[in-house]
Amino acid sequence: MIPTRRRAKRFPWARLFTVIAVVAMLPLLLLIPPIHRVVFTDRTNAALQKAAAPLTVAGAMQRAADRDREIKRLQEKRESDRQSLAARDASITNLQQTVNQLQDELASSASKHDTPKARPSGTPGGFGPATVDDVHRTAQTWAAMDPERAAAIVGRVPESYAVKVLGAMPSDTAGEILAALPPGLAARLSTSEAPR
């Protein structure tokens, strides 16, 4: 084998100067208007900041603060929804109590009118003669009632008084009440003549 002498490698000055030249030209390239606009736009800055945000402690703290604000906002919304729901429930309860109270009052007033002592003072059968005002007032009351309920009341009063009251009512309303009565009673009341 022939021994040869190895040459020492020369330092790559050309590569070093090329890298230095490129690095030195970068600031000059940024001064060219089109490149300057691309690099320094708000969108680019925002994108760079967004990309760098996860890498910083301040970015992590900001995200934690944002999450805390969102949690607080949602908790406040939940509390306000709960309060409005409680207010609605209270309103519904009050309305239900009012309805129950009115139904009780209606039932008690209807039961007062259904009892014998609530009959007009002028009803035949020992209470004295019926006045025209009593008959007309009773006729208006029965006409305003449901025909079935009025028929139940007609079945409890003396027939002579029922004939007077039915005679003072409009014929279609009296017919509805007579239709709700048992057939025998309806026949007796229809064939009886109302005293004038």
- pLDDT tens, residue order, the chain (196 aa): 666 777 777 888 888 999 999 888 887 776 777 766 666 676 766 776 777 666 677 778 888 999 999 999 999 999 999 999 999 999 999 999 999 888 888 888 777 765 544 444 444 444 445 677 888 899 999 899 898 999 899 888 888 888 899 888 898 988 899 899 998 888 888 887 655 4
Domain 116-191 carries which CATH code? 1.10.220.30
pTM > 0.75: no
CB 122 within 8 A of CB 134: yes
Q: How far apart are CA 24 and CA 9, in angstroms?
A: 27
pLDDT value of residue 110: 73
What are the b/e assignments for 44-61, b being 16+ CB within 10 Å? eeeeeeeeeeeeeeeeee
With tokens 């022939």, the residue in question is 2
The ranges assigned to domains in the chain are 33-107, 116-191
Structure tokens at 107: 């039932």
The string of DSSP letters for the chain reads ----PPPPPPP-HHHHHHHHHHHHHHHHHHTSHHHHHHHT-HHHHHHHHHHHGGGSHHHHHHHHHHHHHHHHHHHHHHHHHHHHHHHHHHHHHHHHHHHHHHHHHHHHHHHHHHSGGGS-TT-TTTS-PPPHHHHHHHHHHHHHS-HHHHHHHHTTS-HHHHHHHHHTS-HHHHHHHHHHS-HHHHHHHHHSPPP-
